[in-house]
Chains A and B, each alone.
Chain A
């Protein structure tokens, strides 16, 4: 049992949860994730570790409540417990001295981006951060990211804050000026966003790292459900990733596989039975 120390709402349906998991807190590195199961009978859900406090023995998780299982997790109040937290899983982010880098986050991806961007800044990189969301309410962690970013650029689809449009517009502008063009780009967010960023940087050959979120069960390489095509080869996001070279990832296949259990008539589970009359 893993105690929920705090649980607050950052944006619509987006929670920040601090969980007591001392072993994970002690061994995690940026880019890694945990598998969480809220209670017996519930799904195993992979969640990126947003931050950790080794002294307090806690980790911070950012959870977007998009399905029945994630809604069950965020419904657990401070003082409550998660049945299982296993990790840290996946390979840590490869951090090196790139010089000028752009860190791009979309929606909940911004929370996943945060530890990575922080680690890049701590390693001496010059970090420009671009964050995007549907509207102002979905723009998260701006102040936290500002603490170590040269600049935090904001885009919203409705223009309610920052520039109206998508993160790629800001990236395009950065790339247009040799003085601001990044040597490496880290993009984490919805699949279409990561694909758009990778397509933008591809002609210029700018190293582009993306963090993938396929369907997972065990998270230890055992089931292969999280396989993604990278450079035409099957790779397991849980043990070979979750970060991959964005120019090599088959985003279409990833996007397609993510829809496997989305209201498919043959998919049988409690989730589907609940919505059927």
Chain B
């Protein structure tokens, strides 16, 4: 750019569209749906940013990415410069560029959204992060700072743990992550499907952390293999981010029939173990003809879209409120609909029925209507009397949510918990125990990747303060 663009010129540019794999093709495979912007499209989108002074977008980002700065460099075609800013501010930019709900965070605050469409910050983040992955050599390795001599244990290799580990390593601490499963990434690997977040991206981001000196030990379950007390003896500080891993049961008849899965089991089989997806996977999965997924969040969308890819003729979302109340991202709902997913709204599951062979065969549903707003501010669904009906369902997936996993906390009696079993932590992640911090879903009780990452970033800063 020889002469900077005027604001008027910037305002004249329309928001870019994300290229997508056609619905008819993608609903039969696990390839990534969003293909990513091309170079020209990304630069042009970056030019839409008017570089406002008060930087509302940054305030909307849980990890505080310097958004106008990286977009400004991108607009000038300085991709390496943009990448360095992103990698400095965000441990997992290629992940966030794909799975963050930008429409309720940075983009919701974008000034351009007031009269028109917000800058596509998420698409740009992804573009720069993907460029950085493909051009790692050009960026050069990060040089870790001089070691502080402090040792920090991180429990859980999901988004909160990875973010904290990156921040702590960049502060010069010696970081060891303990992961219960056999592979890295936590929910990024076992929960989020390949078609939203290809697994190589996790491998590359984790590889960057390892290059910074972070050690990752898989197959170690804190609370079982080692206890929190042992970690406190061996390390100078501990960050607990072991996630929300305990499915909430529906507590309806038929829940123990064959063909009934929790979302965690369904997704873990396919995503972590490769069932139905990888030719060499030994782990089985039941491919239903009629799959009913209960719930209206992103996890429910991931399950129902997975069911479609596993060959379900009817893949259905069963949700007791209406579409307006659905917590899932608009993009996920749109993609699911394009892929032929049916949305049964104002429908509550009453029982899972069998034909007497032990297998799920149908879902008995109760028609609901919306009443007065409840504690969440959403209109409360109430049953319509006498309106029950059955829908065929040979696979039923329960995606109504998860609770706090008790494995670590059961063996740490001194650690303060709330009534739901979540760890109590202050704004910086500090628990009631000295040097023990916590963040992510084990504190929040089921939220998003980016909020967990925000917790990891805040806690890491507080931990560095504690260790100083």
Contacts and interface: CB of A to CB of B under 8 A. Distances in A.
Interface of A: 23-24, 27, 37, 41-44, 68-69, 72, 83-89, 217-218, 220-225, 227-229, 234, 239, 250, 253, 256-257, 259-261, 264, 266-272
Interface stretch (B18-26, B260-268, B321-329, B341-349): B260-268
A260 B275 CA distance: 15
Interface in B248-272: 249, 255-256, 258-259, 261-262, 264-265, 268-269
Contacts of B406: 221, 239
A269 B276 CA distance: 6
A259 B265 CA distance: 17
B281 A261 contact: no
* Most chain A Cβ neighbours within 10 Å, of B224, B226, B246, B249: B224
A144 B285 CA distance: 40
A250 B394 CA distance: 22
B207 interface: no
B280 interface: yes
* Most chain B Cβ neighbours within 10 Å, of A42, A227, A257, A269: A269
A221 B282 contact: no
Given A41-B274, A86-B182, A223 B268 contact: yes
Nearest to A67: B282
Contacts of A221: 245-246, 405-407
Given A222-B246, A268-B276, A270-B282, A86 B219 contact: yes
29 contacts: A23-B220, A23-B225, A27-B226, A37-B182, A43-B282, A44-B273, A44-B283, A86-B180, A86-B182, A86-B218, A87-B221, A87-B224, A89-B221, A217-B265, A217-B269, A217-B273, A218-B181, A220-B180, A221-B246, A223-B262, A223-B264, A224-B249, A225-B262, A250-B256, A261-B286, A266-B394, A267-B285, A269-B276, A269-B282
A84 B180 CA distance: 11
The 4 closest A-B pairs by CB, nearest first: A269-B284, A222-B245, A223-B265, A86-B219
Interface in B137-183: 180-182
Given A86-B225, A89-B224, A234-B255, A225 B282 contact: no
Contacts of A234: 249, 255-256
Contacts of A43: 273, 282-283
A224 B358 contact: no
Given A223-B264, A259-B258, A270-B282, A87 B225 contact: yes
Main SS class of interface, A: mixed
Given A27-B225, A220-B407, A257 B287 contact: no
B284 A267 contact: yes
A84 B221 CA distance: 13
A225 B283 contact: no
Interface string B188-228: 00100000000000000000000000000011110011100
B288 interface: yes
Contact of B221 (A68, A72, A86, A264): A86
Contact of A229 (B246, B256, B286): B256
Nearest to A27: B225
B387 interface: no
A251 to B, nearest CB: 12
B247 interface: yes
B282 A42 contact: yes
Given A85-B219, A266-B288, A269-B282, A253 B256 contact: yes
B273 A271 contact: no
B135 interface: no
Contacts of A269: 275-276, 281-285
B286 A267 contact: yes
B268 to A, nearest CB: 5
B375 interface: no
Nearest to A267: B284
User: Looking at chain B, what size class is its interface with the partner chain?
Assistant: 35 or more
Interface in B318-363: 358
Contacts of B276: 268-269
B7 interface: no
Nearest to B225: A23
Contacts of B104: none
B283 to A, nearest CB: 5
A24 B220 CA distance: 9
A260 B394 CA distance: 13
Nearest to B405: A221
Contacts of B282: 41-43, 68-69, 72, 269-271
A79 B138 CA distance: 43
Contacts of B310: 268
Contact of B265 (A69, A84, A224, A250): A224
* Most chain A Cβ neighbours within 10 Å, of B218, B265, B280, B286: B265
Contacts of A27: 224-226
Given A220-B221, A261-B286, A268-B285, 8 more contacts: A23-B220, A41-B282, A84-B218, A218-B180, A220-B407, A224-B265, A227-B249, A253-B256
A84 B224 contact: no
A88 B220 CA distance: 9
Given A86-B180, A234-B249, A222 B405 contact: yes
Contact of A257 (B256, B284, B407): B256
Contacts of B285: 267-269
Contacts of B219: 84-86
B337 to A, nearest CB: 26
B255 to A, nearest CB: 7
A170 B333 CA distance: 61
A271 B218 CA distance: 26
A268 B287 contact: yes
B12 interface: no
Contacts of A69: 282
Interface in B45-99: none
Contacts of B358: 256-257, 259
A171 to B, nearest CB: 29
B1 interface: no
Contact of A224 (B221, B262, B269): B262
Given A27-B224, A42-B282, A83-B182, A257 B258 contact: yes
Contacts of B407: 220-221, 239
Contacts of A268: 275-276, 284-285, 287, 310
Contact of A272 (B245, B249, B284): B284
